[in-house]
């Protein structure tokens, strides 16, 4: 059975892929597959973030040390703030005309930080079409997907919801299965993965494992401020302009507990900005006093809408993202919807308003019990 590159991926929503039950056995099986493979592809989701990029770069360097033929092929380019992690240009944008034959001959593909397989776009479709054995390393809740002949999409699955980052899982693997110490560049990549997914150790996914990992990476030579400066102190003028647009267009709902903004293409153009410049804006909205849920809508081409949802931690909002066809973490989720943002907000706000009403019940229960 074959597919064309435009055929859809089969998705079933009867159940969701659960956490890996026996992590040690799963790692052993994946490590055996890695050592048996000659050609390995690494990839992550479209518009990659620090976790996906850091994880794949550290893994790439490990595979290179094993003598594997390896390439990192992503659907979209590396955001500017993460380019410092890849001075050698190891990360490539996938071009089917140039790369599909190479992909088809791979013994193994490993995808990182990917809760929704569709976010691999063309890379994922071609992996299925050529029936390439695929492994996933992740800490996101997963949609349940099937490949050809209704077979499970992932032959190897490393899934740990409690991990602070996907980079944490890569670090654990390297600690166990790598004979050589981490290089400085591997450590910097993994530290970037860790700090970006824990919000510089501010988010509630920061646990003992996160700090133990940080200690180990510092011992390997990481200078935390160098990473922080590259990631958080390189804002473009266009992004600052766009932030002004956002603050002037912020709206509130649910008695001020929902803060939301829609950034249209005209707004981006007026600020001299692109969709890359909205990175971190939903987290900014979340920092506003009284806001429990932050919503950022970004208008995309063709009347489509990208939705970012962030919660302060009192309400899980990934179920709302799932109703829109997306997903993610309980307190950091999103979706990409083929509807204009005005229609999306009419659907989204009532769902979130019902959600924040549950906080009233908690508060009343607390008062009554005191």
pLDDT at 144: 54
Buried b (16+ CB within 10 A) or exposed e, 229-260: ebbeeeeeeebeebbebbeeeeeebbeebbbb
pLDDT digits (tens, 9 = 90+) for 67-116: 999 999 999 999 889 999 999 999 999 999 999 999 999 999 999 999 88
Per cent of the chain over pLDDT 90 is 75
Mean pLDDT, the chain, integer: 89
CA distance 244 to 239: 9
Sheet strands (E) in the chain: 10-17, 39-44, 69-74, 91-93, 108-112, 134-138, 142-146, 156-159, 251-253, 258-263, 293-299, 305-311, 327-329, 332-337
| CA torsion through residues 159, 163, 165, 169, sign | negative
pLDDT digits (tens, 9 = 90+) for 129-177: 999 999 999 998 776 555 545 567 899 999 999 999 999 999 999 999 9
Which of the residue ranges 53-57, 282-286, 355-359 has the most confident prediction, judged by mean pLDDT?
Answer: 53-57
Domain 238-368 class, CATH top level: alpha beta
- The domain spans of the chain are 10-231, 238-368
CA distance 149 to 119: 21
pLDDT, average across residues 306-324: 92
**Fold identical between 10-231 and 238-368?**
no
pLDDT at 151: 61
pLDDT, average across residues 200-212: 93
pLDDT digits (tens, 9 = 90+) for 211-243: 999 999 999 999 999 999 999 998 889 999 999
Q: Which long-range contacts (CB under 8 A, 24 or more apart) does 246-249 make?
A: 246/281, 246/284, 246/285
pTM of the complete model beyond 0.75 = yes
Tokens linked to 82: 């993460």
pLDDT at 140: 84
Count of all residues that appear for the chain in the document: 370
Instruction: Give the number of other CB atoms < 10 A from CB of residue 206.
Output: 19
Domain at 10-231: CATH architecture = Alpha-Beta Complex (3.90)
pLDDT at 329: 80
Beta bridge partners of 260: 251, 295
Residue 15: band (very low, low, confident or very high) from pLDDT cuts 50, 70, 90: very low
């Amino acid at each position: 059975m074959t597919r064309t590159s435009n055929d859809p991926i089969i998705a079933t929503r009867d159940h969701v892929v659960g956490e890996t039950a026996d992590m040690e056995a799963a790692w052993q099986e994946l490590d055996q597959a890695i050592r048996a493979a000659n050609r390995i592809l690494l990839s992550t989701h479209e518009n990659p973030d620090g976790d996906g990029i850091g994880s794949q770069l550290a893994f790439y360097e490990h595979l290179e040390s094993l003598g594997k033929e390896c390439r990192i092929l992503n659907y979209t380019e590396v955001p500017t703030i993460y380019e410092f992690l890849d001075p050698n240009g190891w990360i490539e944008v996938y071009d089917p005309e140039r790369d599909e034959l190479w992909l088809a001959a791979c013994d193994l593909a490993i995808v990182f930080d990917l809760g929704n397989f569709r976010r691999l776009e063309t890379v994922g479709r071609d992996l299925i079409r050529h029936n390439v054995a695929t492994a996933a390393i992740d800490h996101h809740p997963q949609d349940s997907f099937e490949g050809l002949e209704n077979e499970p999409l992932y032959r190897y699955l490393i899934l740990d919801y409690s991990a602070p980052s996907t980079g944490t899982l890569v670090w654990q693997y390297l600690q166990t299965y790598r004979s050589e110490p981490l290089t400085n560049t591997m450590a910097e990549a993994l530290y970037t993965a860790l700090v970006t997914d824990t919000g510089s150790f501010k988010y509630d996914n920061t646990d003992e494992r996160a700090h133990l990992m940080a200690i180990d990476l510092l011992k390997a030579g990481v200078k935390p401020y160098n990473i922080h400066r590259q990631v958080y102190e390189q804002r473009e003028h266009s992004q600052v302009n766009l932030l002004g647009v956002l603050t002037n267009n912020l709206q509130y709902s649910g008695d001020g507990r929902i803060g939301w903004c829609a950034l249209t293409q005209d707004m981006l153009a007026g600020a001299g900005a692109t969709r890359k410049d909205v990175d971190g804006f939903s987290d900014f909205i979340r920092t506003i006093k009284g806001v429990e849920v932050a919503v950022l809508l970004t208008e995309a081409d063709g009347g489509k809408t990208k939705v970012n949802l962030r919660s302060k931690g009192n309400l899980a909002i990934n179920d709302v993202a799932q109703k829109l066809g997306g997903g993610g973490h309980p307190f950091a989720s999103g979706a990409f919807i083929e509807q204009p943002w005005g229609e999306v907000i009419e659907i989204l706000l009532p769902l979130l308003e019902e959600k924040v009403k549950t906080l009233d019940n908690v508060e009343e229960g607390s008062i009554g019990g005191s």
